[in-house]
């Protein structure tokens, strides 16, 4: 009897995919329209325009900016557009929504950089544990991208997987 230790996981041909490599690392800066409203609730056009004009936009230079309104106020569409006209020349990217929505947008945008053809006829394990808070939408998106080409898709770790899809 041989004392040779065989790594069956390494020999299985499984490809492990860690979604954390597409997780956005950029800082997202918040821009709350509430701060530009009269009493934090009412948009007065003249005052709103003047406040935006006098605002120091340089602090958004090269940043990801989430534009939202934390007040329960009615914000006309043109106000969002006016804000974008000031941010667009300085910010790296702007987004209408809160930080969580922007993070989701960036994560999905990053995942779309994945080339499904690299995984054609492969047995793929989508890593399930990690230090980053990866939500269900990312797992759904990667499954949607890989299902048409993969031989099989599993969730978890190579030593303990949950089958998700197997080509028939």
Q: What is the pLDDT of residues 124-141, one digit of tens each?
A: 999 988 888 899 999 999
Q: What is the pLDDT of residues 56-88, one digit of tens each?
A: 999 999 999 999 999 999 999 999 999 999 999
In this predicted structure, what is the pLDDT of residue 5? 53
pTM exceeds 0.85 for this model: no
Q: Taking Cα atoms as reference points, which of 90, 161, 89 lies closest to residue 127?
A: 161
What residue ranges do the domains of the chain occupy?
Answer: 8-24+105-166, 28-91
Counting other chains too, the contacts that 118-121 makes at CB distance below 8 Å and 24 or more residues apart are 119/15, 119/17, 119/146, 119/149, 119/150, 120/149, 120/150, 121/149, 121/150, 121/151
């Amino acid at each position: 009897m041989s004392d040779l230790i065989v790594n069956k996981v390494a020999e299985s041909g499984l490809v492990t995919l860690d979604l954390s490599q597409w997780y956005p690392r950029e800082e997202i800066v918040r821009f709350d329209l509430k701060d530009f409203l009269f009493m934090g609730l009412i948009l007065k056009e003249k005052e709103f325009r003047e406040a935006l004009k006098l605002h120091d936009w340089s602090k958004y230079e090269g940043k990801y900016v989430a534009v939202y309104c934390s007040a329960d106020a009615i914000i006309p569409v043109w106000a969002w557009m006016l804000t974008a006209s000031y941010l667009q020349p300085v910010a790296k990217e702007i987004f209408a929504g809160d930080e969580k929505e922007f993070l989701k947008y960036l994560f999905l945008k990053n995942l779309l950089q994945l080339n499904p053809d690299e995984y054609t006829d492969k047995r793929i394990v989508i890593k399930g544990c990690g230090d980053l808070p990866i939500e269900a939408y990312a797992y759904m998106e990667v499954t949607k991208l890989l299902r048409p080409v993969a031989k099989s898709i599993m969730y978890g770790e190579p030593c303990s997987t949950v089958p998700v899809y197997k080509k028939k």
